[in-house]
Copies of this chain bind each other. A is one copy, B any other.
Amino acid sequence: MTYQSINFNNKFGLFTEHWAPKVIAEMNDYQFKLAKVEGEFVFHSHANTDETFIVLDGCLRIDFEDGSVDLNAGEMFVVPKGVPHKPFAKSETQLLLIEPRGVVNTGEAEGGALTAKTDVWI
């Protein structure tokens, strides 16, 4: 039987779009997604779930209504469910996101062009 690891850098080589998470693995009903982000996202929240951000390369700032957190490579943060947040990256940043299957990237917000399709695997 052949088992294959999932290599983050190899997967990042397969796409270039920003703010369009790609699923690379599932654990029970949770998904692991890679995303490249740059610039400003929209304020949004997820009513039913926490959301995990792990920075693999670059720097991410997550703004809240009453503050912010800076994440460098090798750092993580869990945004609690229902908490409005807005990710921002000054230059291209590579993220690993973990959240339940089916979560929409713009949450409860009218994301418009920023709303990505869910369940896109690479």
Residues of A within 8 A of B (CB): 1-9, 24-28, 30, 32, 49-52, 56, 62, 64, 66-72, 74-78, 81, 98-100
Most B Cβ at <10 Å: residue of A2, A5, A67: A5
Question: Is B5's CB under 8 angstroms from A77's CB?
Answer: yes
Cβ-neighbour of A75 out of B8, B99, B100 (below 8 A): B8
Knowing A25-B78, A76-B25, A76-B32, the reply to whether A5 touches B50 (Cβ < 8 A) is no
Question: Is A5's CB under 8 angstroms from B69's CB?
Answer: yes
3 closest A-B pairs (Cβ-Cβ)?
A3-B69, A1-B67, A5-B75
Question: Is A3's CB under 8 angstroms from B68's CB?
Answer: yes
Question: Is A3's CB under 8 angstroms from B67's CB?
Answer: yes
Supply 5 further A-B pairs (C-beta < 8 A) apart from A3-B64, A3-B77. Answer: A5-B69, A5-B76, A8-B76, A25-B78, A28-B81
Cβ-neighbour of A9 out of B4, B24, B74 (below 8 A): B74
